Structure 1
Amino acid sequence: MRRLAAIILVVAAVAFLAHHLYGAVRAGDLPDQVDWSLTAALAAVYGLVLALGGLNWGLLLGGLGHALPRLTAVSILLVSQIGKYLPGNVGHLVGRVGLAKAYGVPVALAVLAVSGEIALTLLTAVLVCAIGLLFAPDLVGLTGGVGQPGWIGFAILGASGLVLAGLMALPRLVPSLPAALRRRLEGAVAISPRTAFTFIALQGGQFVVQGGIVGGLAVALGEPFPPLAQTTTLFAVAWVLGFLLPGAPGGLGVREALLVAGFAPLLGPGPAVALSLLLRLVTVLGDGMGFVIGSLLARRIRLRRECAGDQGA
């Protein structure tokens, strides 16, 4: 039932996007030129952001007691990231666990790191959205016409603060809990608050850079650079919804529909549609470049390990 509901939502999102694209084409509202040099540069920046994500994941592994060399962690993430385009939207996570196993990371530990990454990234996205609502009160497309949604931001920040406080207090509370509940929560407290806060800070920076990429794409379409708070918030919301809906490979259709709804009041329907499609192109190119670079890194790491093995023989 849940999967069916997700499929219906994905189909509805794609239909929404197709409807707006058709309307923009009929009205002649699509931008007539694209700065492809800037678009390519932004795709390269997106690839660098992915590499930073690899460092962040390596940070979690190190916090769990199994540190990997930085380049190894980056290589694993870049190679596995291409799996998000497989049906189910979990292929990149499964692939990352499998690749980590090849480098000696226990499966249970890799799963715990991936789970922690998902939870902390979602929490970071919520925090980014809350801050964005405070600094971009004109998010008409996101808030359904609410003129001053700052109170929503304060409410989300308050709830997120309670979650963070709970994470900090959890290690002290777990030993006093019943055995069955304690076993369920032992993994959650394995990541120290310091590691979690460092991850959130770095991940928040990545969302800001990705928001900047969205703004840069608006410039590539001949539009003025939108407020960074707005681009970052809309990207974070689109990322969350695209990730949470199973069956949407890479959030396909869902993220584009939300970006169109968010940017249409600011840029107009045609440029908003073009922006969402151009962002998808940039992310696909960035993921592709990341896969190639990650594969080259993996080959280099493998050759160095083989050379080290030959010298030790």
Structure 2
Amino acid sequence: MTARAGSGTSTLRRLARVGFLLVALGFGAWVVVGQWDEIRAGFARLSWASLALSLVAVLAALCGGMMTWRALLADLGSPLPLRAGARVFFVGQLGKYIPGSLWPVIAQMEMGRELGVPRSRSAAAFFLTLPVQLGSGLVVSGVALLAALPGSVAPYAWVFLLIPVLAVAFEPRVINAVLGFGLRKLRREPLERPLTRRGMLTALGWALLGWIAYGLHLAVIVHDLGSSGFSAVLFSIGAFALSWCLGIMTFVVPAGAGVREVAMVAVLAPVLDQGSAIAAALCSRVVIILGDLLCAGLAGLAARRAEGSRKDHASGKAV
């Protein structure tokens, strides 16, 4: 009876996971199909080599985001193996294409629980990742834009007022106090291990590398659309980080859809004409969607192979 119940639960979890993936993929396709003519025109202006380089940079950036989250989760007491952590993070992140802000964390909580990670710890790592990405992204965008084209920062000066606030929030004592207060209000058990300064700095380091990789992916696209040189690379890093941060602040649309593109077109105005800026924003969106799908698929396959190897090893020992 217990075995049957366990098998039924496993089947339900598998079906729920498949349903989650199908819904996420549907919304991701909807984002692309809605602007297909403009996207196709933009891709027609890019070379295959540029698209390949841009995708490689996106994959590196997504891995940086995963390592940011994994560093925070490990510091809180749940170090996950690389393959298992990648599967939880990348598959869960597909939930950002579904309207609403909670789908990724719900998916990560459920998949993490199967690996022994308490739900509260998964939720804490997820919600800590957002301010780490936002704060590091604002720093990167401010420095890069000022270095490349100082006047381009002026229209967005109000955004950078958040940096001092986030700097205070990065202090582990502050974060631990806020987490403890929130868990008490939710009547949940407190976290077993507080966040440390070393863990926060490690997460920030990975986040910074991720932003640089994202900027390089945009720089490759911008190069084909008419703006090249070292200053264009710096500007692309700052422009992408700033537009992404504006998208992070918008939780009601799938993955900031539309908000990030509008912001990117505006930020790119000093280096590209409007048509080229729109093409850059839309092509960037599609390359990132493709990167999300590749990372989720590869991470899931790698984790499944690792699990199969462990089972084969265990059965060999039993024999």
TM-score by length of 1: 0.76
Distance 2:247 2:67 in 1: 23
Q: Is the 8 A contact 1:126 1:160 kept in 2?
A: no
The DSSP-based 3-state class of the residue aligned with 1:235 is: helix
The answer as to 2:286 corresponding to 1:281 is: yes
Distance 1:100 1:297 in 2: 16
2:127 paired residue among 105, 112, 115:
115
The answer as to 2:52 corresponding to 1:47 is: no
Distance 1:181 1:41 in 2: 43
2:216 corresponds in structure 1 to 212
The DSSP-based 3-state class of the residue aligned with 2:228 is: coil
1:58 to 1:247, Cα distance in 2 relative to 1, 3 A: same
Distance 2:292 2:264 in 1: 20
Write the letter of the residue equivalent to 1:272: A
- Structure 1 runs not aligned, ≥5 long: 1-13
Query: Could you tell me how far 1:203 is from its partner in structure 2?
Result: 0.3
Write the letter of the residue equivalent to 2:308: L
1:201 corresponds in structure 2 to 205
The DSSP-based 3-state class of the residue aligned with 2:80 is: coil
Q: Is the 8 A contact 2:92 2:105 kept in 1?
A: yes
1:137 to 1:41, Cα distance in 2 relative to 1, 3 A: closer
1:310 to 1:208, Cα distance in 2 relative to 1, 3 A: same
Query: Could you tell me how far 1:92 is from its partner in structure 2?
Result: 2.5
1:127 corresponds in structure 2 to 139
Distance 1:87 1:157 in 2: 28
1:259 corresponds in structure 2 to 264
1:94 to 1:279, Cα distance in 2 relative to 1, 3 A: same
Query: Could you tell me how far 1:39 is from its partner in structure 2?
Result: 0.8
Write the letter of the residue equivalent to 2:232: P
Distance 2:181 2:223 in 1: 55
1:101 to 1:254, Cα distance in 2 relative to 1, 3 A: same
303-312 or 194-203: which moved more? 303-312
122-131 or 242-251: which moved more? 122-131
In the TM superposition, what whole-angstrom CA distance separates every residue of 1:215-254 from its partner, at most 9, and x where no partner exists? 1111233432453332222212221221221221121111
In the TM superposition, what whole-angstrom CA distance separates every residue of 1:253-281 from its partner, at most 9, and x where no partner exists? 11110111111221111111111111011
Query: Could you tell me how far 1:181 is from its partner in structure 2?
Result: 8.4
Q: Is the 8 A contact 1:238 1:258 kept in 2?
A: yes
1:76 corresponds in structure 2 to 88
1:139 to 1:286, Cα distance in 2 relative to 1, 3 A: farther
Distance 1:132 1:247 in 2: 29
Distance 2:312 2:43 in 1: 54
2:233 corresponds in structure 1 to 228
1:254 to 1:157, Cα distance in 2 relative to 1, 3 A: closer
Write the letter of the residue equivalent to 2:315: D
Query: Could you tell me how far 1:183 is from its partner in structure 2?
Result: 4.6
2:109 corresponds in structure 1 to 97
2:304 paired residue among 280, 284, 299:
299
1:3 corresponds in structure 2 to none
In the TM superposition, what whole-angstrom CA distance separates every residue of 1:192-229 from its partner, at most 9, and x where no partner exists? 11110111121011101111111111123343245333
- Structure 2 runs not aligned, ≥5 long: 1-30
2:45 corresponds in structure 1 to 33
Q: Which runs of 4+ in 1 moved over 6 A?
A: 179-182
Query: Could you tell me how far 1:110 is from its partner in structure 2?
Result: 1.0
211-220 or 121-130: which moved more? 121-130
Query: Could you tell me how far 1:67 is from its partner in structure 2?
Result: 1.1
Write the letter of the residue equivalent to 1:77: F
Distance 1:305 1:152 in 2: 49
Query: Could you tell me how far 1:81 is from its partner in structure 2?
Result: 2.2
Distance 1:296 1:126 in 2: 34
2:150 corresponds in structure 1 to 138
Distance 1:235 1:267 in 2: 14
The DSSP-based 3-state class of the residue aligned with 1:265 is: coil
The DSSP-based 3-state class of the residue aligned with 1:88 is: coil
281-290 or 84-93: which moved more? 84-93
Distance 2:98 2:84 in 1: 23
